[in-house]
Amino acid sequence: MILSQPELASFLQLTQSRPHDFLGMHVANAHGKRGLVARAWLDDAAKCELVEIAPERGDALPAEVSRRKTAVRAVAAPRVLPLVKLHESGFFEGFLAGENDVFSYQLRITRHNGEVHQIRDPYAFLPTLGDTDLYLINEGTDHLIYQKLGSRIVEHDGVRGVAFAVWAPAARRVSLVGDFNRWDGRYHLMRQLGASGIWEIFVPSLKAGAHYKYEILSPASPTPFLKSDPCAVFYEPPPHNASVVYELGGAGAHVWGDADWLAARAKTDWQKKPISIYEMHLGSWRRVPSDGNRPLTYRELATQLPAYLRETGFTHVEFLPPAEHPFDGSWGYQVTGFYAPTQRFGSPHDFMFLVDALHAANIGVIVDWVPAHFPRDAFALAGFDGTHLYEHADPRQGAHQDWGTLVFNYGRHEVRAFLVGSALAWFDRFHIDGLRVDAVASMLYLDYSRKVGEWVPNKFGGRENLEAIEFLRRANSLVHSLYPGALTIAEESTSFAGVTRPVAEGGLGFDLKWNMGWMHDTLDYIGRDPLFRKWDHNKLTFGMLYQYSERFSQVFSHDEVVHGKGSMLNKMPQADISARAQNLRAFYAFFWTWPGKKTLFMGCEFGQSAEWKYDQSLDWHLLQYIDHEGVRRVVRDLNKLYREDAALAVCEQTPIGFEWVEADAAAESVLAYLRRSEDNSVTWLVVCNFTPVERTRRIGVPFDGEWREVLNTAAAEYGGPGSGNFGVVSADSRHSWDNRPHSLNICLPAMSTVVFRKIA
């Protein structure tokens, strides 16, 4: 035996961190002779022989041989070296005296049942990652780390197989385990690449579909534990949560058909275009009662969702986090697979198919992205290498108080690279059009949801999380530079300045910010009995004081229709469904005609009565009733109006696009305002009446001529009483009103919003 007893023991006790130094073929001195030593550790092997691969005359030298400066021997027949079994677990060794040149070979294995297999040796290959790769990953500047880490089907040194790489710097040993080695950590020990903290192995001939995890021996524990691959693109369903080797490219790759969409997107300035976003949860939009009430698959969604969104007029769809997560009840917000579309609805290729179908229907795709925190599940990122690797060690920094999750350590280069790589991978691999970034406020402030003494100030003694701020700036800059026309949207609930200001001007660089203050104020107002709304009239008008401090999307999201808050319909205070629907229609018209982009959660568009439930379908049967179908029609027509008069969107993020006409009619709960394009080619007059009293009212307008009633939420086709202005109203130049030279005398139906467009 050439291998020393301590060296053999390091393998048998699974503490060996340099397996490639011993396994495979190496030049060595043994028993006073120089030669080649070969070793292999093989599962269920009764016998093992090393068989030379002799290149045919004229063949190129195999790369793993040529890079070791070996010679090719002219041989009549390949050499066969029997290996001696050193241990019953399948540890073999052999020595070929007098040889100085490593050569290419295979292992011929005889199993205990007599079966014979011939395989390439994983330990005969040089690393798949180079020094430059490792340097950039550790520096945090390799933003495409998903092309280096994880599992990748590659051709390496002329051999097809799977390259595995994982970052676990504190680990004493990392093994690749899976269904290809009976989940036994002895047989695919990984090598550590210098001081990078990255462990790597290439497994020849392994194919897509293999299930695997990493078995890690931490510095503090004698017992190894299993972790899923943080960079995997596909996972096994819970409770096992194994990573799955998946080939995104190759012969089975999705053939994209959205080149025209992407080219047009790159030229689009979305600040000057209508954006109406349909927020949805993939698992509960529609279900299949005849098949166990299962959710629709990605491909089933691809046949139904685009048509529905086109009919209702939305420009974009936003998916609650589609990344892999173990617990359905988290709605996707406790992510364990930051690079993987969840397997619940199909494969990564199926998700691509859905995105492609949406693009074919001219619908943009936004996904919720969750870089603020991650769950404590033992198989995932928490304590990944036995230390606080992705999270802070100090719970005052690393534990999220509200959700029981862990906070990323944004000060660590590799963690930032991991998260930025996740964001970019969704654009690169899956052709998405935007990210809605969850819980940004919790990232910006070190004292978010913490009491005195429960947080650590930054280096200047302040409460801002400087590392998280820098991370967000970098992520936004890279998304916008690499994917022109892409959107990034912040869910940010504080008054942090510059969320949508460009990074070059000191801002965070988001395109849009959810207008949470406006949402809370208006919902509080509309939930009051109309008799008392006059006392809260300022809740409708106050938002204009800060409307242009950021670039906003007005939003009524999933958070407003869960946890006892009631559905949008049932937030309306009236006693019967018809009156509630009438109130909701008027409120939605106010929402859509207010400046800013639009975001509405699924089910709200037809006034679902029940709160949203993540494990049930929306109540589509309600559309047979006019109260619900009428709400849907109003949303459809508002979207149509918004998109047809797209000139308004050009200046909807600047004050020139909005003008109050009547803001102080609190006693009547009436509002009137103008929406106008920059050149006045399109002008709307919007008048809201939030009381159940029909009024005849004179409203001042800036232009003479005819004004057409283009939307009336009290119309009979929406389920309303049918009162209104029935077409065109002419401006009266004899009666100036509201400090304007002309006026309209209009019918303002009870609990309604009416929209007039100036006829050119």
In sequence order, which residues have a C-beta less than 8 Å from that of residue 195 and are 6 or more positions away? none
Residues 605, 314 contacting (CB under 8 angstroms): no
Looking at the DSSP assignment, which residues form a beta bridge with residue 50?
81, 107
Buried b (16+ CB within 10 A) or exposed e, 85-108: bbeebbbbbbbbeebeebbbbbbb
Say if residue 209 is exposed, middle or buried (CB neighbours under 10 Å; 0-12, 13-18, 19+). Answer: exposed
Query: Angle formed by the axes of helices 466-482 and 413-430, to 10°?
Result: 30
- Catalytic one among 49, 133, 438, 629? 438
Residues 629, 717 contacting (CB under 8 angstroms): no
Alpha-carbon distance values, 161 to 86, 95, 133, 218 (Å): 28, 27, 20, 28
DSSP-based helix, strand, coil % in the chain, nearest 5: 30, 25, 45
Query: Angle formed by the axes of helices 413-430 and 131-139, to 10°?
Result: 110
Residues 618, 284 contacting (CB under 8 angstroms): yes
- Catalytic one among 368, 491, 511, 629? 491
Residues 277, 602 contacting (CB under 8 angstroms): no
In sequence order, which residues have a C-beta less than 8 Å from that of residue 452 and are 6 or more positions away? none
The number of C-alpha atoms within 13 Å of 467 and in the hemisphere containing its C-beta is: 20
CA 74 to chain centre: 56
Hey, what amino acid is at 413?
H
Give the C-alpha separation, 172 to 606, whole Å: 57
Hey, what amino acid is at 3?
L
For residue 469, the tally of other CB atoms under 10 A from its CB is: 18
Closest by CA position to 166, among listed 95, 119, 104, 215: 215
Residues 444, 464 contacting (CB under 8 angstroms): yes
In sequence order, which residues have a C-beta less than 8 Å from that of residue 48 and are 6 or more positions away? 40, 42, 82, 83, 85, 90, 92, 107, 108, 109, 110
Residues 687, 697 contacting (CB under 8 angstroms): yes
Q: Indicate if 438 belongs to the active site.
A: yes
Task: Identify the residue whose tokens are 């939307």.
Answer: 711
Q: Which two tokens stand for residue 274?
A: 């209508």
Active site residues: 438, 491
